[in-house]
Structure 1
Amino acid sequence: MKIYQPINGLLADEEKPRRRWWLLSLPILAFVAFIVHLSIAGADIAEERERREAEESMRLAEAQRVSAAVMEVNQARQGEGKAETATATDDQPEAKPTPAAAADAPRAEAPSKPKAAPAAKAAAPQIVEAGKTGTIRGRLKSGQSLFAALTQHNLSAAQIQPAINSLSKIFDFRKSRPKDRYEVRYDPEGRVMELRYQRNLEVAFVAKRGASDEFASSKVKAPLKTRVASLGGTVRSSLSKAIMDAGEGQKLVTKFVDVFAYDIDFGSDTKPGDTFRIVYEKIYIEDELIRYGRILAAEYKGANASMRAYVSAQDDGTTYYDKDGHSLRRMFIRNPVKGARLTSKFGKRFHPVLKKWKNHNGVDYAASSGTPINPIANGTILFAAEKGANGNLVVVEHPNGWVSYYAHLQRFGRGIKKGTKVRQSSVIGYVGTTGRSTGPHLHLGVKHNGEFMDPLKIHSTRTAALGGGDLKKHKRWVRDLDKKLDTCKVQPPSDGPDEPEPVGGDDMHGFEEGAGDTEE
């Protein structure tokens, strides 16, 4: 055994250098493999870059081809417009408005009429013709600037920019809106002589070229004519339909409802056979009705409520008094949704889902989705967010321990959030059917010192009364207005079909105690 041990030891020692050489060669082989991999990857990247550049070149070529085709089409259309569209000039009378232009013209607040057939496709814009004096008119489209609108009439930047720059000194074009009107007068050389811009028919912003070729701008108010009118009618299905059947528009309905908002809930107090009389102002420019002015006096006679109201002879026409000089203004209005219909009252009612009697801690008003909602009194927003079964909910805190709740809103009014101050004229939200609801309606809840109250039985005191010389003047004013009301003929109810009532919903259960007193 001893003889073989040295030989075995020698063989073992000879194998050790060979193993070291093999181990040292491994990193070299790995490095070579890495270099080969980079070379292959680089070739792939170069090939991919070449492919993308080729595709981009094809896209650019296609875009240029399409652009050229579009330009050809536009030029052809422009040529057709010149041939077919008559430009108003001093030498040639202005063409009569097309049916499409007439449909686009402003409509006065006049009686509601049957819907007209769809308007024809709008005519091509008028084009400025060289060598002639003329006028072009148009309206802004959605998202369109005045500059962009004028260039479609074949006016260049050099022609129109000086006039626009002059107007911008007196009008902020960031306030431009779709359907704003513009009018340009030009001379035979194609120079813009006058640019007129109007957001409504009452006021125009005008830039005129002077003798020195500089533009001067001014704000021009149209002369308004005020005419006093009177109207009387009988309710058949709703106050709104009765007034419109008698020949006037929805905005007069709104004004009439506002006059009696503190005393009459036209959603629950109105009955067939009730009558009304109105003495009111209509504002005209020349012979075109622009808007309604003040309601000077109003009367409502009904089974549930009867009263007369007279506008103050001394303010801007927003305060109304009774014949003795007591203001009609109170802390609370009766109905936060103008013209809405009362569908569910305060108190015990049979639950539509649970099939048992349950407290309904408020009242429900049915109205079309999107109808504006006003707070019943001035106050501060305590809560405005989604709240379980209440859906979108607004809570308003009022003076003297009063809190009001507005549930199932479609959305909130602009700027409505916790801490916002609101007035009775503010829009805090819009009627909807969010949360646990069977249809579009408003659930109104009212608390006083922590207890739910019946909103229909809340009566606050009037805010002010006239006295002394103001009262004497008011009574003389009332005598004159009473003569106009008394001579106003009450028209019988219309024989037409009843106005469809909004499909109202119900709360699935009304407000309950707990959870911040906002869960239904």
Structure 2
Amino acid sequence: MAQFDPRRQPMRLAPHVFTAAAAVCVALLAGRVYQPARADEAPVLTAEQMAALEVSAFASAGTPAGLTAPEAIPVQIRRGETFEQAVRRTGIGADEARAVAATIAGVFDLSELRAGLKFETAISQPRGGRGDARLIGLTMRTGPATQLTVSRTFDGALRLRSLEERVTHETVVLKADVSGSLYATAQRMGSTPKVTRRAVQLFSGKFDLDRDIRASDDFVLVFDRSVTESGRTVESGELLYAELKGQAFYRFKPAGASEAQYFDASGKNMRSSFMRTPLDRGFRVSSSYGFRRHPISGYQRMHQGIDFAAGTGTPVLAPADGVVVEARRWGGYGNWLRIRHSNGLETGYGHLSRYGSGIRAGQRVRQGQVVAYVGSTGASTGPHLHYEIWRGGQRINPSGVRTEEGTILAGADLAAFRAEKARIDRVIAAGGERRAAPSTLRPAQG
């Protein structure tokens, strides 16, 4: 029998053998049962979904220790200011502003940014008010359909994403009943300012927009535009068709013409020699031509024009082509403008707040051009436009001026017009037309 030696550890084989055997069994069993997990392929996100995720990321970026919850702070670059300087106005430190600029500079030339550009930031302030703020996120639009987003990751690093939205080119058919003013209704229904102004100018040649248009009147506008996935208009096209109270206008450019014009269904030029009113929105006739009690003197006297009540700054349009004769201060008329037109007609505008760009004596103007803005200068009880018309040096009633229309298309021009009219009619019958461009969504470098 072997002698027991207390200096030596006893060997116990059984537990080790059993442990090893159990491990082998578990491994063999796991090899038969375990199957690797399969991850479903993530769906491709649209630009709108990605934008929503970016907003959500800013909100859920977490409140870093010692900082308050992120606060949205809009920033606009000032004249002579760099991007870094603009970012620093949010309260973040110089080093952090430099890091943000360096992150963006990897994919975009910050020297191209101009004064007036706006971007959004999410900023956390230090608790207790001591120390610099910290940037959690920043979103900046770099083009009509592109934007850059900087976000803070959980480890504190800055991450840059570049988003490019898909742009859809579409022809819109807008149908609506007038509610309030024609201009406001068109804007509310989705028309662009450029298209609305053109439509109102066309209608102004046929109707007195203050007296002839009623809430029950319906109108149709057809125009081109380009929109992003988020519904933002990035390019406004031309007005192709406009209709109001049975008067329809088709856009067409005759061969050799310098610009497109508008014609009725038969090919007759619908351009009137004179617009009925020099305002296209937001006005009412407050005083007509004729005898009235003067609002300031209180005496009964002849009012040799028409007053249009409108807000200060409302654009005043030239009712026809002409040449500026006067643009000066003139007694009770305040800031005064006079334009000479063809056929011995002249128009005058009083109480203006200011003149349009480049308007001075001798300057040529075109029909529909903004020549001034409504005000209350001179002898005036409130903002309005005093509008006069002379014929042969004598003031006449502006509402009695007759307008003349252009010629009728013929030959090859008429055939081309009919083809374009048929195309526009098909678009109207279809309710519009869409032509989508491919979209890309790519992460930026860095």
> TM-score band, normalised by the shorter chain?
0.5 to 0.7
CA distance 1:309–1:158, shift in 2 (3 Å): closer
TM-score when scaled to structure 2? 0.61
CA distance 1:356–1:286, shift in 2 (3 Å): same
Residue 321 of structure 1 is matched in structure 2 by 263
Instruction: Name which of 43, 50, 56 aligns with 1:96.
Output: 56
CA distance in 2, matches of 1:402, 1:225: 46
CA distance in 2, matches of 1:349, 1:462: 34
CA distance in 2, matches of 1:98, 1:249: 32
CA distance in 1, matches of 2:99, 2:174: 52
SS of corresponding position for 1:377: coil
Residue 201 of structure 2 is matched in structure 1 by 258
Instruction: Name which of 225, 232, 239 aligns with 2:168.
Output: 225
CA distance 1:148–1:161, shift in 2 (3 Å): farther
Residue 320 of structure 2 is matched in structure 1 by 377
Q: CA deviation at 1:165?
A: 12
Asked if 2 retains the 8 angstrom alpha-carbon contact of 1:321 and 1:327, the reply is yes
Asked if 1 retains the 8 angstrom alpha-carbon contact of 2:183 and 2:280, the reply is no
RMSD: 4.1
Matched, 1:179 2:123: no
CA distance 1:200–1:384, shift in 2 (3 Å): farther
CA distance in 2, matches of 1:479, 1:279: 14
CA distance 1:435–1:157, shift in 2 (3 Å): same
Residue 349 of structure 1 is matched in structure 2 by 292
CA deviation profile, 1:249-275 (whole Å, cap 9, x unmatched): 665543421332322231232123222
CA deviation profile, 1:403-423 (whole Å, cap 9, x unmatched): 211100112223322233322
Q: CA deviation at 1:444?
A: 0.9
Q: CA deviation at 1:180?
A: 4.9
Instruction: Name which of 260, 273, 276 aligns with 1:331.
Output: 273
CA distance 1:197–1:487, shift in 2 (3 Å): closer
Q: 5 Å matches for 1:51-62? A: none
Q: CA deviation at 1:480?
A: 4.2
CA distance in 1, matches of 2:250, 2:385: 31
Matched, 1:296 2:240: yes
Instruction: Name which of 77, 92, 97 aligns with 1:140.
Output: 77
Residue 43 of structure 2 is matched in structure 1 by none
Residue 403 of structure 2 is matched in structure 1 by 460
Residue 371 of structure 2 is matched in structure 1 by 428
CA distance 1:244–1:461, shift in 2 (3 Å): closer
CA distance in 1, matches of 2:70, 2:319: 46
SS of corresponding position for 1:310: strand
CA distance 1:488–1:457, shift in 2 (3 Å): farther
Asked if 2 retains the 8 angstrom alpha-carbon contact of 1:312 and 1:319, the reply is yes
CA distance in 1, matches of 2:142, 2:373: 27
Q: CA deviation at 1:396?
A: 1.6
CA distance in 2, matches of 1:164, 1:224: 21
Q: 5 Å matches for 1:28-427? A: 96=56, 123=72, 140-141=77-78, 144-146=81-83, 148-149=85-86, 154-155=97-98, 176-180=114-118, 201=144, 224-244=167-187, 246=189, 252-290=195-233, 291-301=235-245, 306-312=246-252, 318-339=260-281, 340-427=283-370
What residue ranges of structure 1 are gaps of 5+ in the alignment? 1-92, 100-119, 126-137, 184-195, 205-220, 490-520
CA distance 1:235–1:383, shift in 2 (3 Å): same
CA distance in 2, matches of 1:198, 1:161: 12
CA distance in 2, matches of 1:325, 1:309: 10
Q: Which one has the largest radius of gyration? A: 1
Q: Greater shift after overlay, 380-389 or 156-165?
A: 156-165
CA deviation profile, 1:368-395 (whole Å, cap 9, x unmatched): 1111112222222222222111011111
Amino acid at match of 1:300: L
Asked if 2 retains the 8 angstrom alpha-carbon contact of 1:144 and 1:178, the reply is no
Question: Could you say which structure has the greater relative contact order, defined with CA pairs below 8 angstroms and 6 or more residues apart?
Answer: 2
CA deviation profile, 1:465-500 (whole Å, cap 9, x unmatched): 4221121121233244345557879xxxxxxxxxxx
CA deviation profile, 1:315-350 (whole Å, cap 9, x unmatched): 898521111212222332222111222222223334
SS of corresponding position for 1:270: coil
CA distance 1:436–1:486, shift in 2 (3 Å): farther
CA distance 1:266–1:485, shift in 2 (3 Å): farther
CA distance in 2, matches of 1:165, 1:273: 52
Matched, 1:447 2:385: no
What residue ranges of structure 2 are gaps of 5+ in the alignment? 1-52, 60-68, 89-93, 122-138, 148-163, 433-446
Asked if 1 retains the 8 angstrom alpha-carbon contact of 2:295 and 2:381, the reply is no
Residue 103 of structure 1 is matched in structure 2 by none
CA distance in 2, matches of 1:309, 1:341: 25
CA distance in 1, matches of 2:143, 2:108: 21
CA distance 1:155–1:392, shift in 2 (3 Å): same
Amino acid at match of 1:144: E
SS of corresponding position for 1:438: coil
Q: CA deviation at 1:244?
A: 4.9
Q: CA deviation at 1:293?
A: 2.3
Asked if 1 retains the 8 angstrom alpha-carbon contact of 2:87 and 2:97, the reply is yes
Q: Percent identity?
A: 27
SS of corresponding position for 1:428: strand
CA deviation profile, 1:158-206 (whole Å, cap 9, x unmatched): 96999899786xx6x7xx23125699xxxxxxxxxxxx996751699xx
SS of corresponding position for 1:154: helix
Asked if 2 retains the 8 angstrom alpha-carbon contact of 1:281 and 1:295, the reply is yes
Asked if 2 retains the 8 angstrom alpha-carbon contact of 1:147 and 1:161, the reply is no
Amino acid at match of 1:260: F
SS of corresponding position for 1:257: helix
Asked if 2 retains the 8 angstrom alpha-carbon contact of 1:147 and 1:160, the reply is no
Amino acid at match of 1:324: S
CA distance 1:485–1:95, shift in 2 (3 Å): closer
CA distance 1:466–1:433, shift in 2 (3 Å): same
Amino acid at match of 1:96: S
CA distance in 2, matches of 1:448, 1:121: 66
SS of corresponding position for 1:373: strand
Larger fraction in strand: 2
SS of corresponding position for 2:419: helix
CA distance in 1, matches of 2:86, 2:295: 57
CA distance in 2, matches of 1:122, 1:321: 54
CA distance in 2, matches of 1:483, 1:413: 40
Q: Greater shift after overlay, 252-261 or 435-444?
A: 252-261
CA distance in 1, matches of 2:224, 2:287: 37
